[in-house]
Structure 1
Amino acid sequence: MPATMRAVEISAPGGPEVLKTCERPLPVPGAGEVLIRVAWAGVNRPDALQRAGSYAPPPGASDLPGLEASGHVAALGPGVGELSVGAPVCALLPGGGYAEYVVTPAAHVLPVPAGLGLREAACLPETFFTVWSNVFTRGRLTAGERFLVHGGSSGIGTTAIQLAQAFGARVFATAGSDEKCAACARLGATAINYREADFVKVLKAEGGADLILDMVGGSYIPRNIKALADDGRLVMIAFLEAPVAELNFAQIMARRLSVTGSTLRPQSVLAKARIAAELREKVWPLLEAGRIAPVMDSDFALEEAAAAHARMEGSGHIGKIVLRVEA
């Protein structure tokens, strides 16, 4: 293997233009870790937050952006026996995905589902870990319930729609254009164009949402409370608008509502390993059967990471954006 690798680093906090190509030493896998030769890397909102200086990597993680990737196992750290060098894999990463090689805990590595290529597999870890842990574990979604996801045409949204549908929920999704609403509808959701309709009125007319997954925050938070059915749950995973809102907690008490949330990256290696094991058991068979699939928007070369971030932050995309790392 080479001594150095191509990578994209954050030269200073700022806009997409601060992403610069560089040369870095190859990372070395420690105990329980795997070195992956990256073929494709997923582009996600937390990458943009890190680039802007508002989402620092956890202690010990690479300062390079990139929280998911696909490729081939290049080397095994001490104590890793369940993987083999050369195996095609995808993985959740603590950071460092915008590079030719990356290190991650072996317990966060998953096989590429049969029938999918490496390009599609790079879209799976960050999004599926997030949706599974927040919608099904934290949010406790069950068959027959009404589920609302905001940002339905995003990578998170398209994944949440498909998984909720596959497990028997009735799905609603908000999006900001007819094109995005059509994409949500094709996946099985009742689409709500938030520029033309009030999602609160739509959901209340249907009996209220049993679970809402929100990444907007701000003014959406009190509206979510109104849109919930009695005993409903609200799960927050991001704050594209704002993390602050004024709430009437009497409604939460009287209607027995639950408000919770989480972020994935700071969780322990063990917690994320448990999510990986559940995905492999309960979700990977759905991918291999073709019942669900990542929705792909576009791909860019590694050196075009700034353009990929501009595409994501322009909010015109539908589904996932990936970086092509391997020539």
Structure 2
Amino acid sequence: MPLPFTFTLRRGAFRARLTLGLLLFVALLAAVGCGAKPEQSLPVFASPDSPRLRHMVAGLETGLAPRRLKVVSVPEFGPAGDKALRRLRAEHPALLLVLGSPALIRVAPVEKVTPVVFAMVANPYVTGAADTPEHPEIHQKNITGIATPPPVRAALEHGASLLGTGTWGMLYDPSEGQAVEVARLFTGLAPRFGITPLTATSTQASTDQPALQKLLSRGAQVLYIPPTASAARYAPLVLSWGRERQVRVVSSQAEVSHQGAILWVALDYKALGEEAARLAKRILAGENPEKIPISEKMPLQVEADESLSRYWSGYPGVSRRPE
């Protein structure tokens, strides 16, 4: 009689241990599942592709690690962008990161549910995402982000401090929307810093150099390279004049080498990406984008060329017309 009794006890203990083991296994799977959530990729919808975009993504990756990013870059115009956006929205992501004004213009009218964080947008109030800069707290309920105006004011302010008052010339492409906006800022802000603005236009590489030389013949003492895509077309030429000490150059181009500029004032896109990552983390942690006002941030990189500064300090207001 003792043996069956003993066997029953051992069989019951075995079943208890088996049940406990299964429970522990299920708990382990749940823990592993919870730990994997930060590794799930977040979609980034961007337009257009550029070196500054890649710097921005690097900042996002740093700020959102260990999460991975799924970056989809589309052309500024054409149906490919809308198709790519539809595919991303069909995945129902926890958050959609949007980089660039062209990208936000596509997203704002169609995405009303998924939380959206935007950046690399100079003026979100013309994209449909928000109404007026006087009220950054009023915007589309599921969208918030960072407005980053071009660093024209900063370039003028630092330039006036380093070079004094004088006449600055800027060439822009009237077929590029951002360039037109930057030209408006340049002519409007320059007088506040004692600078007389001159502008000229060019729509193609073949007319850039004559237009630049015309600015110099009209009395431009400084040539300003604005932070626009079209300005990258002629920036190497102007910077070569700067290296040859033919004219003082102030550059706000973040992508190209600034050697030859007496002053470089450009946006730090990696730092901006890290700022956007901090905002995205707030949304992922449960904050409501509707309650977060649109902010304005402008992390800058500022560098003066001491050699050129010393050279031009003896020639105030003098620019020699390049041949």
Fold conserved (TM > 0.5)? no
Which has more strand, going by share of residues? 1
Structure-2-length-normalised TM-score: 0.38
Higher CA-based Rg: 2
Which has more helix, going by share of residues? 2
Structure-1-length-normalised TM-score: 0.38
